[in-house]
Amino acid sequence: MIPPVDSLWKAVDVANATGGRVGSDWHATGVSIDSRTIRSGDLFIALRGPNFDGHDYVIDALGRGASASLISYKPKGLKKGAPLLEVKDTFAGLNQLGIAGRTRSKGRIIAVTGSVGKTSVKETIAKLLSRQGSVSFSLGSLNNQYGVPLSLSRLPEGSEFGVFELGMNHAGELTNLSLMVRPLVAVVTTVEIAHLENFESLEDIARAKAEVFGGLQNGGVAILNRDNLGFGILKNTADSVGADFLTFGSHKDADFKLTSFTLGPESSKVQVRFDGAELNYKLNIPGYHWIQNSLAALAAIHSVGADVFEAARSVASISPPKGRGLRHHVRANNFDFELIDDSYNANPVSIVAALKVLSRVRISSAGRRLAVLGDMLELGCESRALHLKIAGEVTDNKVDLVYAVGLRMRDMFDALPDAKQAYWTETSEELLSVIISHLQHGDVVLVKGSLGARMGLIVDELLALGVEG
């Protein structure tokens, strides 16, 4: 069989990588672990978990156009001669395929982690590098024990650059992921109070984030936030593995030093000094946190040998990923409103950043600034205190009304001045009809909360009210 031009894997190569048994010749142009999103030509890997078994969906995946399926047993009803590759354990097979994808690659690889901003920085790096060469990068937030090997298995052999997001909520997780990715450059966006349920202090979080340096290649570079309290721990760990490092921030000793900036309601102007040169660029995304994201991205781009000046000229083309500050102007039947979709996740630092963006948005005389805030999860014994602090941030950032979702956000809601309390519900589903009935022409609505609070449901309903324009 002659492989298609965009062939990613041949059956024999997958068999060699996983030690599996292949019954027929086939070629895959992609890899998937979700039968619902199968694209024609994908290799479907039938993973098994405590509450699911991907083998139940093998027939469906092949029917949707999968080129083959990686299995550990043949499901009932499968047609004779179906294109398969059988292994002892499909999760181990996924890992082995990811490692094989990384091993055959000669591309310059970047790993991105951090308490806040890792998806945004990963997407920014990938988009800017795509103007200078071929890039493969992890989609969405595929940053865990499943997402990282899946992303590596999708890495084309000829890609010049690879950008992969690495996440964690326990100590020890990043070590294995970093060893799998083996980056030339490792970025830690920032270390903040997140995942406190599993850590006792900010220092413990910094040590866990520093594990990303364990897989750095010889001569690799650590990209560090010089303004962050975790800098010392991160630098010491980078030093211990023999890494070079570049820093970014407003600190006087930062390599990519922020020398001047102007924050606008919809954009920012940025001036940066690096190695005696000056970079001036515009960000068409509001918020100081996005300035920091851009600095981290430029430092990483320079560190893989790409043209940082060309990257800076292209920064204006960047837009935020879905759920991370993406703005929508919605024209409904009787009114218009603006929606800031920051619904993907939340911790104390990212909520404050989102509120600051909301505070700078221009509103009409009839419009209001509305914050729809969901629970922040994984904050452990500090959860109540950290939620209560958000009430003060609401007051400081010109928010007119707050709609709150979740038992944890109830404490914050109750601490607000009466005039700012709009409505509280236990679940996002309960709030849907309320927020829709309360909207007025000219309102600006921020939706923010942890993934488990399901704030995306509110975003979807608000977008469905009209058309964008």
Of 289, 317, 345, the last residue of a domain is: 317
Q: Are residues 207 and 337 in the same domain?
A: no
221 within a domain of the structure (yes/no): yes
pTM over 0.85: yes
DSSP string, 84-116: EEE-S-HHHHHHHHHHHHHHH--SEEEEEE-SS
Extract the tokens encoding 244: 């070079």
Are 290 and 359 found together in one domain?
no
**Domain boundary pick from 266, 294, 317:** 317
Which CATH number does the domain housing residue 129 bear?
3.40.1190.10
CATH of the domain at 448: 3.90.190.20
What is the distance between the alpha carbons of residues 122 and 124, in angstroms, rounded to a whole number?
5
Residue 95 located in a structural domain: no
97 lies in a domain? no
Q: pLDDT tens digits for 333-361?
A: 888 999 999 999 999 999 999 999 999 99
pLDDT computed for residue 200 by the predictor: 86
What integer pLDDT is reported at residue 69 of this predicted model? 97
Q: In whole angstroms, what separates CA 104 from the centre of its chain?
A: 26
What's the whole-number average pLDDT of the chain?
95
Whether residues 284 and 206 fall in one domain: yes
Give the per-residue pLDDT at 198.
82
The residue whose two tokens read 């979807």 is: 460
Q: How far is CA 89 from CA 17, 20, 247, 364, 438, in A?
A: 13, 10, 42, 59, 52
Coil, strand or helix at 73: coil
Number of domains in the chain: 3
Domain that holds residue 81: 9-88
**Is residue 100 included in any domain, yes or no?**
no
Rg of the Cα atoms in the chain: 23
Report how far residue 70's alpha carbon sits from residue 83's, in angstroms, rounded to the nearest whole number: 9
Answer for the pair 288, 353: CB distance below 8 angstroms, yes or no.
yes
Calpha distance 235→316 (Å, rounded): 31
List, as one string, the DSSP characters of 303-368.
HTT--HHHHHHHGGG--PPTTTTEEEEEE-SS-EEEEEEE-S---HHHHHHHHHHHHHS---TT--
Residue 7: the pLDDT is 87
Q: Is residue 253 part of a domain?
A: yes
Residues 340 and 297 in one domain: no
Residues 297 and 151 in one domain: yes
Q: How far apart are CA 301 and CA 314, in angstroms?
A: 12
309: how many CB neighbours lie within 10 A of its CB? 14
**342 touches 416 (CB < 8 A):** no
Does residue 254 share a domain with residue 119? yes
Q: Within this chain, do residues 289 and 199 fall inside the same structural domain, yes or no?
A: yes
94 part of a folded domain: no
Query: Do residue 311 and residue 360 come from a single domain?
Result: no
pLDDT for 4: 54
Task: State the Cα–Cα distance between residues 439 and 120, nearest whole angstrom.
Answer: 29
Q: Are 153 and 81 part of one and the same domain?
A: no
Q: What is the CATH number of the domain that holds 35?
A: 3.40.1390.10
Q: Which of 283, 317, 351 is the last residue of a domain?
A: 317
Whether 138 and 282 share a structural domain: yes
Q: Which pLDDT belongs to residue 49?
A: 87
Question: Using CA atoms, how far apart are residues 436 and 422, in angstroms rounded to an integer?
Answer: 12
Note whether residue 4 is domain-resident: no
Question: Does 68 share its domain with 110?
Answer: no
Region of residue 358 (left: phi > 0; alpha: psi -120 to 50; beta: else): alpha
Shared domain for 79 and 148, answered yes or no, is: no
Convert the pLDDT of each residue in 402-443 to its tens digit: 999 999 999 999 999 999 999 999 999 999 999 999 999 999
Low-confidence residues of the chain, pLDDT below 70? 1-5, 469
14, containing H or E segment: helix 11-18
Phi, psi (degrees; rounded to nearest 5) at 408:
-70, -40
